Amino acid sequence: MKEKECIDFISSWLYNYLNKSSLKGFVVGVSGGIDSAVASTLAAHTKAPVLCLEMPIFQEQSQVNRANNHILWLKEKYNNVHSLRIDLSELYQSFEQSVASEVNNDNHLISLVNTKARLRMTTLYYYAQLNSYLVVGTGNKVEDFGIGFFTKYGDGGVDISPIADLLKSEVFAIGKQMGIIDSILIASPTDGLWEDNRTDEEQIGATYNELEWAMNYKGNANNLTDKEQLILQKYHELNTTNSHKMIPIPVCNIPDYIR
């Protein structure tokens, strides 16, 4: 990949889309991870106004530090960037107490984790409408179109997706080219939604490099090693299970003979 050309292409694409939309700028949720760091920097590269929102929900401190440091770096590099910190911890806690359930299984925990992502989405859209901004997505190609590793109507609820055609390895390459701070470049990818600070790899059961390989593999599975077959199986399981996130909402089209 030609990183510099890719950076200029995406930034131009963002700028042109913004102009056609008749809106005034971008709002991006910054988490302390590589995807949000790259997406926010690409938005800033357009020279249009960019609002970076940090939205901790009982966040692990190292993630908070990375997000803060990235925003500081971004403000020093671009004079079109401003930021807000909206702590959603009490709001989330209030919601958790309101829906308190005797059920305490995996579905209960995952529902609460997804609620965090949806609270952040709601906050992004509040500030987007307040300022006439577009909400910038931070999902990459593996997450958005490979395994559906995002929250429906959470981090999947966006107006524009600048890095959704980039593999995770390409996001890192672009981040390095743009000078993203080292603490983000070397951090293990995580969605920051779990209190035990579990990584994406721990949640998914495979690394992003393995998932990229599986996503692009077109050969005969019988020729693979046992480990490669397990990775391919994991990819296809996630792709199938999460397909409802990656396809348009099904619409019941009423036939003419009924109308």
Is the pTM higher than 0.75? The answer reads: yes
In this prediction, residues 196-201 reach a mean pLDDT of 88
- 184: its two tokens: 């983000």
- 131: its two tokens: 């300022």
Residue 79 is predicted with a pLDDT of 97
CATH of the domain at 12: 3.40.50.620
Residue 222 lies in a domain: no
pLDDT per residue over 204-222, tens digit each? 999 999 999 999 998 887 8
User: How many folded domains does the chain comprise?
Assistant: 1
Residue 173 lies in a domain: yes
What is the pLDDT of the chain when averaged over all its residues?
A: 95
DSSP calls for the chain: --HHHHHHHHHHHHHHHHHHHT--EEEEE--SSHHHHHHHHHHHTTTS-EEEEE--SS--HHHHHHHHHHHHHHHHH-TTEEEEE---HHHHHHHHHHT--S--SHHHHHHHHHHHHHHHHHHHHHHHHHHTEEEBP---HIIIIII--S-TTTTT--SB-TTTTS-HHHHHHHHHHHT--HHHHSSPP--S-STT---HHHHHSS-HHHHHHHHH--S-GGGS-HHHHHHHHHHHHHHHHTHHHHSPPP--PPPTTT-
Q: Which amino acid is at 71?
A: I
Residue 241 lies in a domain: no
Residue 36 lies in a domain: yes
pLDDT per residue over 71-110, tens digit each? 999 999 999 999 999 999 999 999 999 987 766 778 888 9
Residue 32: pLDDT band by 50, 70, 90 thresholds? very high
Residue 243 lies in a domain: no
Q: Which domain holds residue 18?
A: 3-197
Looking at the predicted structure, is the pLDDT value of residue 42 above 90? yes
Residue 194: pLDDT band by 50, 70, 90 thresholds? confident
Q: Kindly give the interhelix angle for 168-178 and 208-216, rounded to the nearest 10 degrees.
A: 120
Looking at the predicted structure, is the pLDDT value of residue 159 above 90? yes
Residue 44 is predicted with a pLDDT of 98
Residue 155 lies in a domain: yes
CA geometry: angle at 216 spanning 214 and 218, to 5°? 90
Residue 181 is predicted with a pLDDT of 97
Residue 204 lies in a domain: no
Residue 221 is predicted with a pLDDT of 79
Residue 96 lies in a domain: yes
In this prediction, residues 45-70 reach a mean pLDDT of 96
In this prediction, residues 43-68 reach a mean pLDDT of 96
